[in-house]
Chains A and B, each alone.
Chain A
Amino acid sequence: QSALTQPASVSGSPGQSLTISCTGTSGDIGGHNYVSWYQHHPGKAPKLLIFDVSLRPSDIPDRFSGSKSGNTASLTISGLHAGDEADYYCSSYVTSSSPYWVFGGGTKLTVL
């Protein structure tokens, strides 16, 4: 049950756009569309940003978008602002005889 691979950190200036990648295998990300992204401010509850690769809950602004190519999913954040500084995690359902979920190691986003 290996974790998905994310960059440890990314940074950008206010107003810029950036993309966080999440690499898995054909057994998780590449095998279906059950890929989600979460925003986590320390001490708070993780927040669902993206589900089913590219869908947004109704309370999430369209500055956040998701995509997938092969075994790699991506989260793009446009119009960065200070409140976006947080940890971001990707997650995938893993289909197997005993299904389970796996998270990425997390990416620390710093707004410069």
Chain B
Amino acid sequence: DVEVVESGGGLVQPGGSLKLSCATSGFSFSGSALHWVRQASGKGLEWLGRIRSASKNYATVYAASVKGRFSISRDDSQSTAYLQMNSLKTDDTAVYYCTRHHDYGDYVAPLDYWGQGTLVIVSS
């Protein structure tokens, strides 16, 4: 069975940092691109960024709203992805989801496996 489990959320002060983890199993992690998506209370889904597979040189791309503050990394040996969040703002308060797409060739596969999310609260 496929499992995607986010962890590391919690309460952090404005200006602080937090690192989220995304542990996975049941699919080819090394052949996947990993994405992070968030949802603030009462709002829609917001795509944050993705990291590609080794065959695509672990290329990363980020949404303008988090570029320069957030970074995505991965450990293929542990089938785990990470989201490092720095200089956090109150507007970053949200549930953070990890998801993936099968990363092959030029085809852009859909985001098919998702976790249930981890809550990050930025507040003093």
Contact = CB atoms under 8 A, between A and B. Distances in A.
The answer to whether A binds B is yes
Contacts of B35: 101
Interface string A92-112: 010000111111111000000
A69 to B, nearest CB: 20
A99 B61 contact: yes
B112 A48 contact: yes
A61 interface: no
B117 A100 contact: no
B116 A44 contact: yes
A98 B37 CA distance: 17
Nearest to A94: B47
B5 to A, nearest CB: 10
B6 to A, nearest CB: 10
Contact of B46 (A93, A98, A103): A103
Size category of the binding interface on chain B = 20 to 34
Interface in A17-69: 34, 36, 38, 40, 43-48, 51-52, 57
A3 interface: yes
Q: Which of B4, B35, B44 has the most CB of A within 10 A?
A: B44
12 contacts: A38-B45, A44-B116, A45-B97, A46-B97, A48-B112, A48-B114, A91-B45, A93-B108, A99-B61, A100-B63, A101-B50, A105-B44
Interface of B: 4, 35, 37, 43-47, 50, 61, 63-65, 97, 99, 108-112, 114-117
Given A36-B110, A103-B47, 4 more contacts: A1-B64, A38-B111, A47-B114, A89-B45
